[in-house]
Structure 1
Amino acid sequence: MSPLDLYHMPYTHSLLASAIWALGFGAIVWLVSRSMVAATWAGIVVASHWLLDLLVHRPDLTIAGGDYRLGFGLWNSPALAMPVELILVLGAYWFYIARTKGPLVPPLILLTTMLLLQAFDWFGPEPVAVGPGFSILALLAFGLLTTMAFWVQSTRWHKNTVGLAVAG
């Protein structure tokens, strides 16, 4: 529901760039974990960003950075966009909790932080321009959430198909 005109983002919000980022991130995950399953899921998650953005963005997404713009504009209807975003976040949280084992407090802290930042995005003052302060604040928020996600993951174990917990 951003009021900003996101008119030129070919390195982050084109379908081609998303595919390249997905392949790159998948390769990094594979190098670190040596798990093709983890690498594939990592790539799918990154690639899904463009598809999910296609639903919510106004027409500002491109296929490969050209002039043709795509976007279904769900952000134009906050009464629809907000529940969809909440369903996605809570659904992903439930999916993670159902497939891992460990203390619930760290994931609840992460979820609460995510929801508070989302509420600020929805109900806080609207940005009028993207300057250095805006960009630094966004990077700090992403850094905070990434650090918290690593912390949460260190407290959880994945359940395997026979119901035993497997670390990491």
Structure 2
Amino acid sequence: MTTEGIIYGVVALSVVAVIVAGILTITSIRLNTVRRGALNPPTTALTMTGLYGSVTNAVLRRMATASGTESHRTGQRFTVIVDESAMTWWRGSAQPTKIATFPLSTISDVKGGTTHYGRITYQTLFLGVTVLDKTYELQLRLTGPKGITYASVAQREDYVADLWSRVAATNPGEDV
């Protein structure tokens, strides 16, 4: 095989890889839109879209093991709904599957920061969630409001403020 043939082969494989990655991303965004429609959260709920993170899945698995419940992976994109009493994580599309539910009273800390994967920086919420007297740091990589783009620092800080106010409302008189 000639050098020119190798170069054409590498270019062709690169083009195919980009097309496949684009199709997978578009499919993930579409499934996220379908899932959010199926869940139909109340307008008063805080609704966020999270992005896959291996650390997030590992911590969710440890928390499920500690509480004796079944562990579910998040998938590439997932939905988190926070109402007046709980934070619930969902995956799937037209028939969403519950990943986990945490009463807001078990959340002891909410911080904003960043995580990295390769050259990509993600705006991330770091949540202190207590399960059976042990607190776990759970990461939630954020997307923008519609689940398509990455969240900005301002959007992350809005989520932190909104979530903190909901946590504080469930723990009146406590310093959260």
Give the TM-score taking structure 1 as reference length.
0.26
Comparing both structures, which one devotes a greater share of its residues to strand?
A: 2
Give the TM-score taking structure 2 as reference length.
0.25
Comparing both structures, which one devotes a greater share of its residues to helix?
A: 1
